[in-house]
Amino acid sequence: MSVGFIVDVEFAWGFQARVAGLSKTSPSFQYPPPSVILGGIAESIARKNCVGEKKGKMLIPALSKELLAIGLKPLNCCPIRYQALGRIIAIRESGGVEYPNPKYISKSFDAPARGYTVLSTCDGDTPKIRVFTVFKSNNINLYGDQFNISGDDFWRIHRLGSKESIVSILDVVEVGSREIGQEKNKVIVTTYSFPVDEELNVEPIEMMGEWKDEVYINPYRIESYDEKENPVTNYIFGRKIIKFKVPIMSIVMPFSTPLCKVKIHGRSSAYTYGDEVVIGYG
């Protein structure tokens, strides 16, 4: 029995979420990637159920197996990406000398430009986004242990991205299977980010407002968690990634939420609750 969650997230300033290892100065994304959102849910479930770090890392693949749809939209903010210099300890070997080294303090540090995203408010209030997720069921299996996904797990989310990316949850609406509508093989209108993939057969027809492309790790195909796997190679060779269309709210008055008319067919489905429409598998 499918279950959906519509969550309003408030940011303190913005977030930092980037491709680790892509370069020393890799930029941040426009919005927290789907895998980061799944990570926030997984961390919340792990804390509630006293799951250790090693076992808890497998919660993200477990959530991915149950995921039907995930999308987000800005409620009152526009993303502004920038890079900031920050002094960090440089772990390296040069000229036969290992760093950091107390004899060479100045050579033991580096100052790479790190990518950040500020969510600039359009109405003077704190920046907010809305996330809509749909799962096949509210049960996930982890090595024989059963865990339930509930609205309480979303209320417990406290960051999306790096440790500086603090968030608060303003509202959580849990939508049961009887309340979720499912549409297939038709034209729909959505305000949420959505995947554009040949396998899904999602075809944007008309875009109103600004939409941008972002490439993420495919949240529907996170089959395992391997610390030895280099995420950079996935981006370079186009493995395990998927392109999303993401809405960018205009900062020019009157403020408006971007809309997109989309034709869905094949394996894709639109999940609806009132005026909220998110696109995914089905």
- Per residue in 216-260, pLDDT (tens digit) is 989 998 877 666 666 667 777 777 889 999 999 987 767 788 999
SS3 state of residue 138? coil
For residue 192, pLDDT over 60 is answered with: yes
Q: What is the tally of structural domains in the chain?
A: 1
For residue 153, pLDDT over 90 is answered with: yes
Return the number of other C-beta atoms located less than 10 Å from residue 278's C-beta: 27
SS3 state of residue 221? coil
For residue 149, pLDDT over 80 is answered with: yes
Is 197 or 274 the better-scoring residue by pLDDT?
274
Least confident of 51-60, 100-109, 163-172: 100-109
CATH of the domain at 119: 3.30.70.3120
Return the number of other C-beta atoms located less than 10 Å from residue 67's C-beta: 20
Least confident of 68-77, 81-90, 218-227: 81-90
For residue 88, pLDDT over 80 is answered with: no
For residue 21, pLDDT over 70 is answered with: no
Closest by CA to 249, choosing from 185, 195, 193, 168, is: 193
Host domain of residue 20: 3-281
Which pLDDT score is estimated for 113? 64
